[in-house]
Amino acid sequence: AAGGQGAPGTDRVVAKLGSQRINNLFTHLRKIALHPLLVRHRYTDAMLEDIVRLATRHGLFGGQCTVERVGKEMNGWSDLQLHNFAESYRGVLGRYILDSDCLMISGKLKELSRLLAQLKAKGSRVLLFSQWTQMLDIMEWFMRQQGHTYVRLDGSTQVEERLSLVDRFNDPANGVFVFLLSTRAGGQGLNLTGADTVVLHDVDFNPQVDRQAEDRCHRLGQTRPVTVYRMVTLGSVDQNIYDIAQRKLKLDAAIMEGMAMGTGAGDAADDAAGDAADKPKKRGPKKKGADDTQHMGAILAALLAGK
């Protein structure tokens, strides 16, 4: 079963690559599925070399930095990071600023553009979640380009500012259409009943994380039905993550049903898990990071096997 913990070759992939390389490779694939600007593909090596040369000559990293040191710093930057850097130093790097057309090379943003237009037309207001702060940066650029009013909250937002942003969004008189939130920072402790729509731009391995985000709308004072959209890039690791999360939800539901009916959580979990290839291996409790590494390893093993 592609993406399952018991996928053939999972242990071999984990042992051969190691958790750090698995995480790096999987993260790269996931960035591509979310938005190509999260990796470097528009800026060629020659363009990067010229940016490094100009940045060094003009002391953009300080007068003491060498070309080698600046190059080492910028070598791992994404298209978005290079674009933002060029934006910050227009006088020196203006020719390397990307055109806003590159926003729409993402299938998710194309669909989001269509969806937001429909929601705005019917008077809805939206909570838009992502786990990635760089994705929120892209979304801010996208919101400005599309002409949507928005506010943003992520892990760097100060506590006192959070309350102000929540109040501003919840008051319809302020006319804020979209609230951009990081899934973990915005998924707890906030009452955002001013929205009637939740859009999860990217889903988590743990479905409870996404549920906590959804619950920001389902709070005391909500008077309207709430609609939740999950955006998934088909045929990518994005879809694998979604499938794993759905299996976990099914397993949780079966356990709760088994406990309620008195059949026992273990029997219910086995029924929900399906055939042996899809069952988690019984190795005792794992830390979250180890569990995620197994998921990533299983997905990569399936990809390498051509599944």
pTM here? 0.81
**pLDDT at site 271:** 52
Could you list the mean pLDDT of each consecutive 10-residue stretch along the chain, which spans 307 residues? 50 76 89 96 97 97 93 96 98 97 95 98 96 96 97 92 94 97 80 92 90 79 85 92 90 77 56 45 51 78 66
**pLDDT at site 288:** 53
**pLDDT at site 277:** 41
**pLDDT at site 16:** 77
Angle between helices 237-261 and 207-214 (to 10 degrees): 90
**pLDDT at site 216:** 81
Long-range contacts of 243-252 (CB under 8 A, 24+ apart): 243/3, 244/3, 244/4, 244/205, 244/295, 245/203, 245/204, 245/205, 245/206, 245/207, 245/210, 246/207, 247/4, 247/278, 248/205, 248/206, 248/207, 249/207, 252/207
**pLDDT at site 187:** 63
Distance CA 210, CA 229 (A): 11
Distance CA 185, CA 187 (A): 6
Where are the chain's structural domains? 10-25+236-304, 43-97, 104-230
Q: What CATH number has the domain spanning 104-230? A: 3.40.50.300
